[in-house]
Amino acid sequence: MRTVDWQAILWFARNMRKILILISAFALLASPVLARDTGRIFVSNEKSHDIHVFDAEYNLIKKIATSRRPRDMKLNAARTLLFVACGDDDIIDIIDVETLEVVDGIPTGPSPEVFEFSLDERYMYVSNEEDSMMEIIDLESRITIHNVPTGAEPEGLALAPEGDVIYVTSEVADMVHVVDAAAGVVTDNIIVGTRPRRFVITPDTNELWVSAELSSEIYVIDRASNEVTSVLEFLPPGFRPEDVTPVGMTLTRDGSVGLISLGRANHVAVIDAHSKEILAYVLVGRRAWSVALSRDEKTAVVANGLSDDITLIDMETYRPIRSIPVGRVPHTVVIDD
């Protein structure tokens, strides 16, 4: 008996690798619907024309080649498809989140940068940087049903939670256009700071925040009146006001904490979203841009455009955990969890 035991142990030891591979292969086969809540992190890279996909433990699992210059990304509501605006090929690539392959594409106007879906996912709203238009695309027929003229270089785009209004920034005209989603016309214009970039709408739906990259400010707009109610400024230690170039923003689901990337000041500002008080400055990589929160809100991920990496931030201590290299000029981070 003793000898048999020994042989069995030796056999297991010798074939440990194979056994483990077999077990994991079975596990994979047994759970074909891995896509949802995978905790996968997608990072679009403008200059290497690909998306880096990391698993929940931050291991690189795939580089998906896309059309040229992938920028903004959004998951559909079912979290089965990832849409990617590819600025140099005038297309929005569609990636199957399960197979991690590009499966389809929606042609757009010149240089799509940021986009949103309508609440029923029938329409897509796209800012076209090159021809100063926000286009409304019918997703079924793939026909552009409206071209809304905007100021030069439209970028940031946000859909009101009610679905009736779209906000678009014009980087050159320093303003926010308020667009009636159904009629496709600009109904109001709000003048903000220099080079307005991105939006975030507070969960209580009362406030619209706009980052003004080159005047180093966040404009807080009252959504009922479309008036600017306050202007936030930031200054991490050791930096000049003009180094602060805020772009990306995100809020916790309860609307209590806001994260704002400060661009060339290489920090992310953490603020109390109600009192607008600054809670912390977190040192990240160079030219911090897009910032995303994991669903458990324990970790934030920041894309650093000039150091070609992402930085993970621990949301309990507001400290950086580590940075992970990605492709050239990372633009947007999407977390599927």
Partner 1 sequence: MRSLIFLFFTFFALPLYAQDIHLGLLRLQNDPRFDEDFTYARIELRAQGDVLAAIEMAINDMKVITDARGLSVVLSEAKVAADGLIQAAQNMLALGVTHLIMDLPGDEVDTMATSLAGSNVVLLNTTAPEDWLRSKCHPNLLHTAAGDRMIADALVQHAMFHKWRDLLVLRGKTDRDNLRADSFVQAAERFRLRIVDDREFDLSTNPALREQNNISLITGGRRDYDAVYIADEIGEFARYVPYQVARPRPVIGATGLVAAEWHWALERYGAPQVNSRFERLSTGNRRMSWQDWSAWMATRAVLTAFTKSPDPAMEAVNAYLRSDRLRLDGSKGKQMNFRPWSGQLRMPILLATHNAIIEIAPLEGFLHQINSLDTLGYDEKEFICDE
Residues within the interface to partner 1 (CB under 8 A): 111, 129-130, 150-153, 170-175, 177, 189, 191, 193-195, 213-216, 240, 242, 245, 264
Q: Which is nearer to partner 1, 187 or 256 (CB)?
A: 187
CA distance 14 to 214: 62
Q: Which is nearer to partner 1, 178 or 273 (CB)?
A: 178
* Phi-psi category of residue 238: left, alpha or beta, with phi > 0 → left and psi -120 to 50 → alpha: left
Q: Which is nearer to partner 1, 19 or 191 (CB)?
A: 191
Q: Which is nearer to partner 1, 151 or 248 (CB)?
A: 151
We find the least distance from the C-beta atom of residue 43 to partner 1, in angstroms, to be 19
Q: Which is nearer to partner 1, 74 or 195 (CB)?
A: 195
We find the least distance from the C-beta atom of residue 191 to partner 1, in angstroms, to be 6
We find the least distance from the C-beta atom of residue 152 to partner 1, in angstroms, to be 4
We find the least distance from the C-beta atom of residue 269 to partner 1, in angstroms, to be 18
Q: Quickly tell me which residue has 């949802």 as its tokens.
A: 36
Tokens for 330, please give them: 């990372």
Q: Which is nearer to partner 1, 308 or 336 (CB)?
A: 308
Q: Which is nearer to partner 1, 94 or 283 (CB)?
A: 283
Q: For the CA atoms of 202, 204, 205, 206, what is the dihedral angle to 10 degrees?
A: -90
Dump the DSSP string for 210-231.
Answer: EEEGGGTEEEEEETTTTEEEEE
Straight-line distance from the first to the last Cα atom of the chain, in angstroms, rounded to the nearest whole number? 50
Backbone angles phi, psi at 204, to 5 degrees: -75, 5
Q: Which is nearer to partner 1, 175 or 257 (CB)?
A: 175
Q: Is the dihedral of CA 112, 117, 118, 121 positive or negative?
A: positive
CB 90, CB 111: distance < 8 Å:
yes
The residues, ordered by sequence, that sit 6+ positions from 284 with a Cβ below 8 Å of its Cβ are 261, 266, 267, 268, 302, 304, 311, 313, 320, 323
We find the least distance from the C-beta atom of residue 47 to partner 1, in angstroms, to be 9
Q: Quickly tell me which residue has 């019918």 as its tokens.
A: 138
Helix ranges (H only) for the chain are: 2-14, 16-30
CB 269, CB 216: distance < 8 Å:
no
We find the least distance from the C-beta atom of residue 111 to partner 1, in angstroms, to be 8
We find the least distance from the C-beta atom of residue 256 to partner 1, in angstroms, to be 31
We find the least distance from the C-beta atom of residue 214 to partner 1, in angstroms, to be 4
